[in-house]
Structure 1
Amino acid sequence: MTDESAALGAEPSVIADWLMAHIPDLSGVTGLVKFGSGQSNPTYRIDTASGPYVLRSKPPGKLLRSAHLVEREYRVMAALAETDVPVPNMLALAEDATSPTGRAFFVMEYLDGEIFWDPVLPEISQTDRRAYYDEMARVLAALHSVDPKAVGLCDYGKPGNYFARQTERWAEQYRASVETPSEAMMRIEAWLRERMPEDDGQVALVHGDYRLDNMMFARGESRVIGLLDWELSTLGHPLADLAYQCFQWRLPHGGQMRGLAGKDRAALGLPTEEEYVAAYSAARGIDGVGDWTFYLVFSGFRLAAILQGVASRAAAGNASDPKGAIYGQLVPLLEEMIVGMLD
């Protein structure tokens, strides 16, 4: 086995032996190539005589508590295998204690499809774009309609108010990633705590990073064949996923941000935010989304904390992509945008 095996922390032959011992149909490992995209858990294509596979690993170095838990990603996708949520087949898991690389990784089915990075969907004709958005809304509604208990995930998250717990978590993660917290982030955190809604009892499996480039479509079709990157998944409030996706569309379009702000969605053949929320709500059979501003501000705060963590890992040399330092420069822009939403 050649190329990037060393980055995983073990000799090529050791990794190849483990793969062939744990995946019955896998044979003749010839290569391991890291995918260029992604800022969190490094992901590789495994080339073998029996076809390609995908390996996803924890990154090297000191990691933040509760971050990079590929074991959870493996568990949730395995649990969703027989549901309406499209996920790749899970094939093998190596936990930290038994991994030949010294850190956990899992192997899954290789999906041959398309990933789109620009929400404008320039690769798709204007008349076909709405179908892709309708499919995203359908898949998100399907995810939130899964009964966690029925798929063995009733213990996948903590009980209680999701937004209160998540605000605490991301405030803690943010502070662990900076020397001095910004005044803007402190103000946003305080606003969230003051505006915190009562727990309405809704509990669903949430993806945590639901966006266009974390799903793979069938080639030439508006059909999702794989929802990917489940690192931030947990049990929580379904509207957190919806608001997170919609918040991203409010970001500028260009540079390091891929949003839809300033774009004429009607002219592009894309739904408005209101139309997308309505399509999701109809698919789930719900009426209304409550305090939408709170959900959007929470999503922005969380995104800022995530990007600051990426930048911190890049500075320490532990990011999957060293260019992650660029994302730290986006945090002040996000802060300004979020503060402008406070009332």
Structure 2
Amino acid sequence: MDTTRVAQDVALDLAILAEVMCGDGVDVSGELTAERVGMGQSNLTYLVRDAGAGRWIVRRPPRGNLLESAHDVHREFGILSALQDTGVPVPRVLGEYVDDRLAESPVVVMEHVDGLVVDRPEVSDTLPMHLRAALGPALGATLAAIHDVDIVEVGLDGLASHAPYAARQIKRWSRQWDDSRTRDLPQLDAMTELLRRRVPEQREVTLVHGDFHIRNVIADPGTGDVRAVLDWELSTLGDPLADIGSLLAYWPEADDPPTALFAASALPGFVDRATLRDSYLAASGRDDADLDYWHVLGLWKIAVICEGVLRRSLDDPRNAADGGPPEPIFIEQLVDRAWRTAAAAGLDT
């Protein structure tokens, strides 16, 4: 690896990182090198290696001006710390560092978890059929485990408001849209109003991951079981059906209208959305009342998130992940899919 080139591309001072990690008792052998990993386009994520066998995952916010409440790795660190001894599979957190010599923002270090990350076509296309079939139900069971966490017992009861989650989500993400939009999109604005009119009654409050999908987990390459859930920056308290709604939004099927969503789930062997939904409902003991609403809101939210990614990439191209930022047409296709989903469920009246 060309360490000079990598160091120039990494938004961290790796010498300072080694210093602060050693100060926390982490065994670091020699100089550190780093490379950007993952397909996420929000927080910057790096695989950091030392001269020996040491490997860690390091996360920090993107460069540049950030939207209020977004990219909060300090909050993510607190959530991961609280979940260490629960039934939720998460990486072991090693430290959080706020040091201007290291970076202009907080930096979180966690263990590297070996396993299968289905985040690219070259991975999904080569998966054997038994793994394709296992991954959806494994995601459903893991999501049920997240929602089963006793938030009082683990100290997350004060993580966020207990007020109705749908209204909070619409307020937050419509504000994010207003702050990050690159153009007018009347169909998205109309969907925002539809979601406001159709807000369901909240029946319970649980821990919510906020961005749960196949790219944000590490799976066992033999069984498909989830070894670690990643990217907790959007985690909050709210209606658990919001998470399964978002997972369905991230789960294309072969006959869906086109979008640029990662479409591993459209390959033969992966379960369909109905089976994915049923695997979660069976594991959690919940029913599917209002789930169509959360599916539509999930699509709308993904569109808003993608617009934010586009804005950050336009403001500072170094923030773009491998493959570049989403195209505007992708965001418009997501909004169209949200409308189609709402119409199929009878929500568009």
Does TM, scored on the shorter chain, surpass 0.5? yes
Q: State the match for 1:247 in structure 2.
A: 249
Residue 185 (structure 1) aligns with: 188
- Letter of the 1:32 partner, please give it: A
Cα deviation, 1:6-30, whole Å, max 9, x if unaligned, reads 4455544333222222343333233
Contact 2:259–2:330 at 8 Å: present in 1 too?
no
Matches within 5 A, 1:296-335: 296-317=295-316, 319-321=319-321, 323-335=323-335
- Note if 1:176 corresponds to 2:179: yes
User: 208, 211, 214: which one pairs with 1:209?
Assistant: 211
- Shift of the 253–228 alpha-carbon distance from structure 1 to 2, 3 Å rule, reads farther
TM-score (norm 1): 0.89
Q: C-alpha displacement at 1:121, in angstroms?
A: 4.1
- Give per-residue Cα distances to partners, 1:221-258, cap 9 Å, x unaligned: 31211111111111111101101111122475977322
2:16 is matched with: 14
Select which of 248, 259, 277 maps to 2:263.
259
**RMSD across aligned positions (CA):** 2.5
Matches within 5 A, 1:40-119: 40-48=42-50, 49=52, 51-95=54-98, 100-117=102-119
The residue number in structure 2 matching 1:293 is 292
Counterpart contact for 1:184–1:335, Cα < 8 Å: yes
C-alpha spacing 1:188/1:144, structure 2 compared with 1 (3 Å): same
Give the aligned length.
336
Unaligned 5+ residue runs, structure 2?
Answer: none
Equivalent residue, structure 2, for 1:222: 224
Asked if residue 153 in structure 1 is aligned to residue 129 in structure 2, the reply is: no
Task: Give the AA of the match of 2:67.
Answer: L
Mapped contact 1:56–1:106 kept (Cα < 8 A): yes
Contact 1:244 1:299 in 2 (8 A): yes
Distance between the aligned counterparts of 2:4 and 2:36, measured in 1?
A: 12
Instruction: Spell out structure 1 runs of 4+ moving beyond 6 A.
Output: none
User: How high is the TM-score relative to the length of structure 2?
Assistant: 0.88
* Residues 172-198 of structure 1: CA deviation (Å, up to 9, x unaligned): 001111255311011101101111112
Alpha-carbon distance between aligned partners in 2 of 1:90 and 1:55, rounded to the nearest angstrom: 10
Unaligned runs of 5+ in 1: none
Secondary structure in structure 1 of the residue aligned to 2:325: helix
- How far off its partner does 1:294 sit? 1.3
Cα deviation, residue 124, structure 1: 2.8
Kindly state the Cα deviation for residue 63 of structure 1 after the two structures are TM-superposed: 0.5
The one-letter code matched in structure 2 to 1:191 is L
Percent of aligned positions that are identical = 30
Q: CA deviation at 1:143?
A: 0.6
